[in-house]
Each structure stands twice: as C-alpha cells, then as structure tokens.
C-alpha cells in the first residue's frame, strides 16, 4: 500500500532503486513510501519512475510493483530507447546485450545462404552414394 508519493529535491546523494545510478544533490527525484513488508522508502530518478510506470502498463502488473532492475527484459530495449532514452542510457548492459543479439541474428542471416547450399550439396552427395551402392548391388 502506498503511503506517500512525492517528488522532493535531493539534499544528499541517493542511489536510484530502479537503475542503481546516483541521484545527485539538487536533483528532483521520485520518492514513494509504501507499506508492503513494513515501511519502505523507494527513491528513483523521475525518468526511471516514468519508465517503470510505462512498463507496469505494458506487462499489466496490476497491484504488483515494477522494478526496472528486475523487470526490464532484453525485448524492452527498443521502446525504452524510443520513449525513455535517458533511462536506456542508464541500462547500458541490457542495451549492449540487445545490440549483441541483434548483430548475431544479422550474422546468422548472412551465413544462411552458404549453409543452405552446403546442406543441398550434402544431400546430393548422399543421394549419389546411395545410387552408386544400389548400382554396385545389382551389378
């Protein structure tokens, strides 16, 4: 249950509970106090809170809370970059994993014609060998 939700200006450094980066003094941040398992204060960048709010709608989390550090998945990278570029920049590893996977997919596609040709040649070779064996058996 949410007790309070405010956007104060940070007086000291805090760590963002979504991305893990620092919230610097003087920065307006998102502060939620809730009572799930006792009182808990959740602090985050306002941009991270906005992205979490969107992700909450996308995955239809209902009453479940969303935490970007656990709930963001690799397939979320395109909309995150499009709608929340600042937050995407904070999730460097996830974005790098997405780019690596996309590059591997492209490399696999580029290899496909050669692999297909090799399969066809192998099938032809086996067919020729079976035909030769049949000929040898009847001879």
User: Is position 45 an interface residue for Zn ion (rule: CB under 5 A)?
Assistant: yes
Among positions 6-25, residues that touch Zn ion (CB under 5 A) are 16, 18-19
User: Is position 88 an interface residue for Zn ion (rule: CB under 5 A)?
Assistant: no
- Tokens linked to 69: 């550090």
Among positions 53-72, residues that touch Zn ion (CB under 5 A) are none
The phi and psi torsions of 43 (rounded to 5 degrees) equal -115, 140
- Tokens linked to 123: 């099938």
Query: 59 or 86, CB closer to Zn ion?
Result: 86
What distance in Å separates the CA atoms of residue 22 and residue 13, rounded to the nearest whole number? 7
- Interface pick for Zn ion out of 29, 31, 48, 94 (rule CB under 5 A): 48
Contact yes or no for 10/23 (Cβ under 8 A): yes
List residues near Zn ion by CB under 5 A: 16, 18-19, 45, 48
């Amino acid at each position: 249950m949410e007790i309070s939700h405010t956007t104060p200006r940070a007086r000291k450094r805090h760590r963002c509970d979504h991305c893990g980066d620092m919230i610097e003094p003087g920065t307006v941040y998102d502060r939620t106090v809730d009572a799930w398992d006792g009182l808990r204060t959740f602090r985050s960048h306002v941009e991270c809170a906005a992205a979490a709010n969107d992700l909450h709608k996308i995955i239809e989390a209902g009453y479940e809370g969303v935490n970007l550090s656990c709930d963001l998945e690799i397939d979320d990278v395109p909309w995150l970059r499009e709608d929340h570029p600042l937050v995407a920049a904070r999730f460097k590893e996830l974005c790098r994993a997405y780019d690596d996977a996309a590059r591997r997919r492209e490399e696999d596609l580029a290899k496909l014609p050669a692999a297909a040709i090799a399969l066809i040649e192998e099938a032809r070779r086996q067919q020729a060998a079976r035909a030769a064996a049949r000929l040898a058996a009847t001879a």
